[in-house]
Amino acid sequence: MVPDKNTVLDALKTVRGPDLEGNIVDLGMVSDVFISDAKVYFSINVPAERAKELEPLRMAAERVVKALPGVKGALVSLTAERKAGAPSANPAGKPAHSHTHSHAPAGQPPKQAKADIPGIGAIVAVASGKGGVGKSTTAVNLALALMANGLKVGILDADVYGPSMPRLLGISGRPEQIDGRIIVPMENYGLKAMSMGFLVDEGTAMIWRGPMVQSALMQMLREVAWGQLDVLVVDMPPGTGDAQLTMAQQVPLTGAVIVSTPQDLALIDARKGINMFNKVEVPVLGIVENMSYFIAPDTGNRYDIFGHGGAKAEADAIGVPFLGEVPLTISIREKSDAGTPIVVSEPDNVQSQVYRDIAAKVWQEVQRHSARKAPKITWE
């Protein structure tokens, strides 16, 4: 029989707190415990600066829960949460985010928690300030275009509440697990993909709260047999709220691509997105203008009816690279809906070339930033 929450909490009381004082339950470090399909999900709240050092604590908690009869798996993640009113962990004295509710991240990015993922060369977030601007469509076509340019690529759908990769890539079914732990990513068109949509039935994730979402995301990131990848594209949830900020902090991102439509309102939100990544010191690799202009399906004529050029002007004003303009075309939408993204289904199409050019620029930016980040090797 699957244990209930209290049984799980009782078991967790055997796990000592940091510095071997008390236990993690009585110290108030354990989040809400969520049990679904005999798998147990929760997070342990630790000070951001101690996240790396406390990894053994996370492993101990996971081990204890997995050992309970009836438990098929446990997914435990460390979160760094600043309690309302607690002093900012930000030594630079920059303003901390003063959220008084839910999952407020610390003012300073928990760099120690962002361990690189073995085998993955770079992680690129595709983000947007608001929903509906074509972020997921851009993410999937960008991933396939990076592949078309000769790279090994995976895609992680981090939009836990509205996963779109199963539909966009035409993938259904559940992923396999190795030893009940490591998940084998799904694959189509040679692109490895992981999405909440493969793991839970539609609707289930909707009731999840912040820490569960974090746990699920960390599992999809770290406990997946990605193999060797040059780049992992992460389709972020739309918006710039707490959830996105926490995600931007916890995933070891190389950089972010911001998708916007040309209209002023979308651009204001795009700027919020850029500010969010700046806040957590993730480089913005550039802006893509989606639905930039219209190409008539019958004549192929181009119409600049959407205020085309707004995103380029914004990119220039802020001083981030402009990556390219994707036209609004019926075929992009139809191919997406059919699970056959345009870059693979119509590679010779001019729109597919646009995506490959954007992919080339993104890769250039990735390398530029990786080179800057790489430590100098000195021989003694």
Binding site for ligand ATP (CB under 6 A): 128, 131-137, 159, 162, 164, 238, 290-291, 326, 328-329, 332-333, 336
273 is in an annotated binding site: no
Nearest approach in angstroms of CB 290 to ligand ATP is 5
Residue 340 CA to residue 252 CA, distance in Å, equals 29
Residue 119 annotated as binding site = no
Q: How far is the CB of 217 from ligand ATP (least distance, A)?
A: 16
Cβ of residue 96: shortest distance to ligand ATP, in angstroms? Answer: 28
Q: Which residues contact 246 (CB under 8 A, 6 or more apart)?
A: 79, 103, 105, 210, 214
Instruction: For ligand ATP, give the closer residue by CB, 285 or 326.
Output: 326
Q: Give 141 or 188: the residue with its C-beta nearer to ligand ATP.
A: 141
> At 364, is the secondary structure helix, strand, or coil?
helix
**Is 130 annotated among the ligand-binding residues?**
yes
d(CA 30, CA 92): 29
Q: Closest CB to ligand ATP among 114 and 135?
A: 135
Q: Is 136 annotated for ligand binding? A: yes
Distance CA 28, CA 130 (A): 35
Question: Rounded to the nearest whole angstrom, what is the least distance from the CB of residue 174 to ligand ATP in the complex?
Answer: 22
CB nearer to ligand ATP: pick between 146 and 326: 326
Q: HSE-up of 90 (CA within 13 Å, CB side)?
A: 17
**255 among the known binding-site residues?**
no
Handedness of CA 102, 108, 112, 117 (dihedral sign): positive
- How long is the chain? 380
At closest approach, how far in Å is the CB of 248 from ligand ATP?
16
Tokens of 231: 């780049």
Q: Closer to ligand ATP at the Cβ: 82 or 130? A: 130
Q: Which residues share a beta bridge with 43?
A: 77
Residues 6 or more apart whose CB falls under 8 angstroms from that of 298 comprise none
State which residue, 161 or 367, has the beta carbon closest to ligand ATP.
Answer: 161
Please tell me whether 131 is known to bind a ligand: yes
What is the C-alpha separation between 29 and 49, in angstroms, rounded? 15
Residue 135 in marked binding region:
yes
Cα–chain center distance at 214:
10
Residues making up the binding site for ATP: 129-136
Q: Binding site: which residues?
A: 129-136
